[in-house]
A = this chain, B = another copy of it.
Amino acid sequence: MGKGMHCRKCGNAAVINMRQHRLALCEAHFVEWMRANTQRFIEKYRMFGPEDRVLVAVSGGKDSLALWDILLALGYRADGLYLGLGIDGSIGYSDESHQRAERFARDFWPDATLHVLDIKGTYGEAIPEVNRRTHRGRGKPCSVCGLIKRHEMNRIAYELGYNVLATGHNLDDEVAVLWSNTLHWQIGYLARQAPVLPADRPGFARKVKPLCRFYEREMAAYALVRGIDYIYDECPFAKGATNLYYKELLNQLEKDQPGAKLDFYLSFLRAKEQGAFTESPDTADLHPCERCGQPTSAPGLCAFCRLWVEQVVENDDPNVVIVEQHDA
């Protein structure tokens, strides 16, 4: 990285050269730059302030650990939430990622709180098992997994009194989703893709993505420079995902036209701000799910609860939750 290049701020050896910003920085100034920019994005998109209680969805990967690190370094009231999904693969994916999350909290921010919720411990089935039962073993569990994660993050934020839910989506993630939604011109999804999503209903958490303008490469460099030990591997189910394919295609574009991804994303946000898309009025009539109380447009039960009513589960009351608190 940036071999032979010098930090623009102090002239010391640079650890990263960001072509799209024409900016090379040393370790210390890169860390400073990442934090200052995160702060700038938080303010620009009105994500949250010092008074808010932020719950960071921590997966054990570089993005979410770096996000938590940056928010704490900036002085925000940010706690972590690790969801145990029970995904093994050949590398014991969930165990490994859980360990990284715990270790990071203990070593870097011993005063911070890491909440841990194990899906199987709470509902009796891990993600692959839920998928096998509800989808008869067909296809990947990614959509079931996303549904469960969204529901649980919402629920836990609500029950523990966090008003902001932060995820570590970086620019590459956002651009891959944007590209996918654009390829099919899914205007509804495009209208809703944003750095901030307001709370679904009063009492629920606002969803924010403070890293949405950082390249994946910048996040990896931040984790490296900070000495954060994160899980390198993608989820074993992600292999061959269309999302990863789009990322490769977009990486090729970025290589040929440095800054193309950032430009794509920022011009999208600008167009939206200027009212580019006619947001189809949300005619979906939201009402509380009969079982869990979360807002849903489905009649009766929400999609999450329908996952479980098809058989008796150990813990039938999702409002009783096992949350370990980590205050190492």
Map CB proximity to B onto A239-265 as digits: 1 under 8 Å, 0 otherwise.
Answer: 000000100010011001000100110
| A264→B252 CA distance, assembly (Å) | 20
Chain B residue numbers with a CB within 8 Å of A245 are 256
Map CB proximity to B onto A165-186 as digits: 1 under 8 Å, 0 otherwise.
Answer: 0000000000000000011111
Task: Write the nearest CB–CB distance from A236 to chain B, whole angstroms.
Answer: 22
CB < 8 Å neighbour of A278 from B183, B260, B264, B275: B275
B187 adjacent to A274 (CB under 8 Å): yes
Chain B residue numbers with a CB within 8 Å of A238 are none
Task: Write the nearest CB–CB distance from A175 to chain B, whole angstroms.
Answer: 11
B260 adjacent to A183 (CB under 8 Å): yes
Q: Indicate whether A150 reaches chain B with its CB closer than 8 angstroms.
A: no
Q: Indicate whether A267 reaches chain B with its CB closer than 8 angstroms.
A: yes
Q: Indicate whether A270 reaches chain B with its CB closer than 8 angstroms.
A: yes
B183 adjacent to A270 (CB under 8 Å): no
B271 adjacent to A185 (CB under 8 Å): yes
Smallest CB-CB separation from A265: which chain B residue? B185
Task: Write the nearest CB–CB distance from A53 to chain B, whole angstroms.
Answer: 35
Q: Indicate whether A276 reaches chain B with its CB closer than 8 angstroms.
A: yes
How many residues on the A side are at the interface (Cβ–Cβ under 8 A)?
23
Q: Indicate whether A41 reaches chain B with its CB closer than 8 angstroms.
A: no
Q: Indicate whether A277 reaches chain B with its CB closer than 8 angstroms.
A: yes
Task: Write the nearest CB–CB distance from A274 to chain B, whole angstroms.
Answer: 7
B270 adjacent to A185 (CB under 8 Å): yes
Chain B residue numbers with a CB within 8 Å of A93 are none
Task: Write the nearest CB–CB distance from A10 to chain B, whole angstroms.
Answer: 35
Q: Indicate whether A76 reaches chain B with its CB closer than 8 angstroms.
A: no
Chain B residue numbers with a CB within 8 Å of A253 are 249
Smallest CB-CB separation from A253: which chain B residue? B249
Please indicate which of the listed interface residues A185, A260, A263, A271 has the most CB atoms of chain B within 10 Å of its own CB: A185
Q: Indicate whether A268 reaches chain B with its CB closer than 8 angstroms.
A: yes
| A16→B183 CA distance, assembly (Å) | 26
| A278→B277 CA distance, assembly (Å) | 6
| A260→B184 CA distance, assembly (Å) | 9
| A183→B268 CA distance, assembly (Å) | 8
| A185→B273 CA distance, assembly (Å) | 12
Please indicate which of the listed interface residues A256, A264, A271 has the most CB atoms of chain B within 10 Å of its own CB: A271
Chain B residue numbers with a CB within 8 Å of A276 are 185, 187, 277-278
Task: Write the nearest CB–CB distance from A191 to chain B, whole angstroms.
Answer: 9
CB < 8 Å neighbour of A263 from B183, B256, B263, B267: B183
Task: Write the nearest CB–CB distance from A249 to chain B, whole angstroms.
Answer: 6
Closest 7 CB pairs of A and B: A185-B271, A185-B267, A187-B276, A185-B268, A184-B267, A187-B271, A278-B278
14 contacts between A and B (CB under 8 A): A183-B267, A184-B263, A184-B264, A185-B267, A185-B270, A185-B271, A185-B276, A186-B267, A187-B276, A249-B252, A249-B253, A276-B277, A277-B277, A278-B278
